[in-house]
Amino acid sequence: MTVRPKKKGISLSYEQRNAVRGYSFILPWLIGFAMFYIVSLGQLVQFSFWEITMDPNTGMTHNSVGFANYITAFTSHASFKQTLTSSIMDMLIDLPMIVFFSLFVALILNRKFKGRALVRAIFFLPIILSADAVGDAINRAAELVSAGVSSSELETAQAGTVSISYYIQLFGDLALPDNILEYIVGAVNRIASIIRGFGVQTILFIAALQSIPSSLYEVARIEGATGYETLWKVTIPMTMPHIITNTIYTLVDRFTNSEIVALASRTYRQYYDYGLSSAFSVISTLITCAILGLIVYLLNKRAFYYN
């Protein structure tokens, strides 16, 4: 009886097999990214070093100007620095509000109760249909407050709506620090944008909550953990990878809808200044990627990945 030698194959560890599955899953996206997006991104960077003119006879002509477009953006342009700063501040204000509010909503909608599907549908319908109406009411309230309208007149003007100014005045009466009060006011003024921007994150958080093993909550109850302790010791650590995912999605979504992107679009659509517009895009993209990398790095240090 002869024993055939075993064929030697490639032996991969468990982590390596998971990595292969992951790369196989995103392989179509990687191919499309390499074939289309990287080429466009390279052209964008190239355009930022050019002065491009459009001629009806000769077509597009360009001259290399080095870093002149970048210097113009930071030195002589009327609104770039202000728009860039305000866009970054808006993104940083909206980011924690959207992420934590979507997690809070997901915790509510994930609870088991009768008619949960109907409640979810009712909850998401106003987000789709009436976000603009909410925004108009808040903007109207802000205008009345800035105009010095009295409380009685404000209540009359806001009949049938939520008195946002009342809560702003309440926070001011509590002697909160100015930076915290400014953050709250800024978030309230953009509540319509926040409402429109947390639907996808809520769905992702619901999926994350449903994937947490119920045995962890049973152990927490046996050990006598309170609901608050269970939230911070079980729910938050187990959903941290999804918090990172929603952070990336939210920041990218806020960036694509920011004023700095609109400024870059207006620069080449109205003034046909492709070089300066490309410089705006490169600068804002690099700053956003740096902020995103820093936030993800800090969150990833506290993330717990489980199989």
> φ, ψ for residue 50 (rounded to 5)?
-120, 160
pLDDT, greater one: 256 or 157: 256
| Contact yes or no for 165/144 (Cβ under 8 A) | yes
Domain boundaries, the chain: 47-300
Q: What is the pLDDT of residues 44-86, one digit of tens each?
A: 999 999 988 777 677 778 888 999 999 999 998 888 999 999 9
CATH topology of domain 47-300: MetI-like fold (1.10.3720)
Please give the mean pLDDT across all residues of the chain.
79
Strands (E) across the chain are located at: 50-55, 59-64
| pLDDT-derived band at 202, boundaries 50, 70, 90 | confident
pLDDT at site 288: 93
User: pLDDT tens digit string along 11-31?
Assistant: 888 888 888 888 999 999 899
pLDDT at 70: 93
For residue range 262-303, list pLDDT tens digits in order: 999 999 888 888 899 999 999 999 999 999 999 999 998 887
Q: Are strands 50-55 and 59-64 parallel, antiparallel or unpaired?
A: antiparallel
- The phi and psi torsions of 63 (rounded to 5 degrees) equal -130, 135
Name 284's Cβ contacts closer than 8 Å, sequence gap at least 6: 84, 87, 255, 258, 260, 261, 264
Angle at 115 between CA 112 and CA 121, to 5 degrees: 105
Give the pLDDT band of residue 200 (cuts 50, 70, 90). Answer: confident
Q: Provide φ and ψ at 60, rounded to 5°.
A: -85, 130
Instruction: Please compute the mean of the pLDDT values over residues 215-219 and round it to a whole number.
Output: 90
> Who wins on pLDDT, 250 or 158?
250
Closest CA to 150 of 169, 172, 178, 171: 169
The pLDDT of residue 188: 63
- pLDDT at residue 304 greater than cutoff 80: no
Indicate whether this model's pTM tops 0.75. no
Give mean pLDDT, residues 104-126: 73
pLDDT band at 165 (very low <50, low <70, confident <90, very high): low
Backbone angles phi, psi at 228, to 5 degrees: -65, -45
Which has the higher per-residue pLDDT, 3 or 30?
A: 30
What pLDDT score was predicted for residue 80? 92
End-to-end CA distance of the chain: 44
